Structure 1
Amino acid sequence: MASTTALAAAPGRTPPRRRAGDLLVLGVEAALLAAAVLVGALLNARGAGLHADAAPLYATWRPHVGWGSPAALAVAVAVVGWGARWARTARWGVLLAAAWSTAVAWTLSLALVDGWTAGLTRRLTPQAEYLHEVPGVTDIPAMLAGFAGRIVDFQPDAWSTHTAGHPPGALLIFVWLDRIGLGGGAAAALACVLVGATVAVSVPVTLRALGAPDAARAVLPFLVLLPGAVWVGASADGIFAAVVAAGLALLAVRGRVAALAGGVLLGFALYLSYGFLLVGVLALAVVTLRRTQRRGALLAAAVGVAAVIAIFSAVGFHWWVGYHLVVERYYQGWAADRPYAYWVWANLAALLLSAGPVLGPALRRVLSGARSPWPGLRAALP
Structure 2
Amino acid sequence: MRLVIAGLLVAAAIITGVVVNGNDPGVLFAAAAPLFGDWQPHVGPGTPVAVLIAFLVVAKGPELAHHRFALPIAYMAATAWTFSLAMVDGWTRFVTRLTTEDEYLHEVPGVTDIPAMLRGFAARIPDFQPDSWTTHVSGHPPGALLTFVALDRIGLGGGAAASIFCVLVGSLAVVAIPKAIGSNAVLPFLVLFPGAVWVGASADGMFMGVAAVGIYLLTRWPLLGGIVLGWCLFLSYGLVLLAPLAIVAVGRRIGWAVAGALAVVAAFAISGFWWLDGYELVKLRYYQGIGDTRPYWYWAWANLAALALVIGPAGIKGLRRDKWVIAAGIAILAADLSGLSKAETERIWLPFAVWLLAGTARLDKRWLTAQAVTALAVNHLVLTNW
Relative to the length of structure 2, the TM-score reads 0.82
Superposition deviation, residue 287 in structure 1: 2.1
The counterpart of 2:222, out of the listed 234, 237, 259, is 259
- The verdict on how the C-alpha distance between 1:83 and 1:166 changes in structure 2, with shifts beyond 3 A counting, is same
Structure 2 counterparts to residues 194-343 of structure 1, below 5 A: 194-208=168-182, 216-253=183-220, 258-288=221-251, 294=252, 297-343=253-299
For residues 151-179 of structure 1, what are the alpha-carbon distances to aligned partners after superposition, in whole Å with 9 as ceiling and x for unaligned? 10010000001101111111010001111
CA–CA distance in 2 between the matches of 1:321 and 1:353? 34
Answer whether contact 2:189 2:360 (CA < 8 A) is retained. no
Answer whether contact 2:233 2:239 (CA < 8 A) is retained. yes
CA–CA distance in 2 between the matches of 1:302 and 1:235? 28
Q: Which residue of 2 aligns with 1:40?
A: 17
CA–CA distance in 1 between the matches of 2:18 and 2:298? 12
Does residue 314 of structure 2 align to residue 351 of structure 1?
no
CA–CA distance in 1 between the matches of 2:292 and 2:173? 35
Answer whether contact 2:315 2:360 (CA < 8 A) is retained. no
The counterpart of 1:142, out of the listed 104, 109, 116, is 116
Answer whether contact 1:52 1:59 (CA < 8 A) is retained. yes
Q: Which residue of 1 aligns with 2:349?
A: none
Answer whether contact 1:365 1:372 (CA < 8 A) is retained. no
Q: CA RMSD in A?
A: 1.8
Answer whether contact 2:314 2:360 (CA < 8 A) is retained. no
Does residue 90 of structure 2 align to residue 115 of structure 1?
yes
Code of the residue aligned with 1:34 in structure 2: it is A
CA–CA distance in 1 between the matches of 2:203 and 2:290? 22
CA–CA distance in 1 between the matches of 2:360 and 2:61? 23
Code of the residue aligned with 2:184 in structure 1: it is R
Larger relative contact order (CA 8 Å, sep ≥ 6): 2
Superposition deviation, residue 372 in structure 1: 11
Superposition deviation, residue 27 in structure 1: 1.0
CA–CA distance in 2 between the matches of 1:284 and 1:32? 31
Code of the residue aligned with 1:75 in structure 2: it is I
Q: What secondary structure does 1:60 align onto?
A: strand
Superposition deviation, residue 366 in structure 1: 2.8
The counterpart of 1:187, out of the listed 161, 168, 181, is 161
Superposition deviation, residue 345 in structure 1: 1.1
Superposition deviation, residue 333 in structure 1: 0.9
Q: Which residue of 1 aligns with 2:77?
A: 102
Identify unmatched segments of 5+ residues in structure 2. 327-358, 362-386
CA–CA distance in 1 between the matches of 2:103 and 2:197? 17
Relative to the length of structure 1, the TM-score reads 0.83
Percent same amino acid at aligned positions? 55
CA–CA distance in 1 between the matches of 2:8 and 2:90? 34
Instruction: Say which one has the larger Rg.
Output: 1
For this pair of structures, how many residues does the alignment match?
327
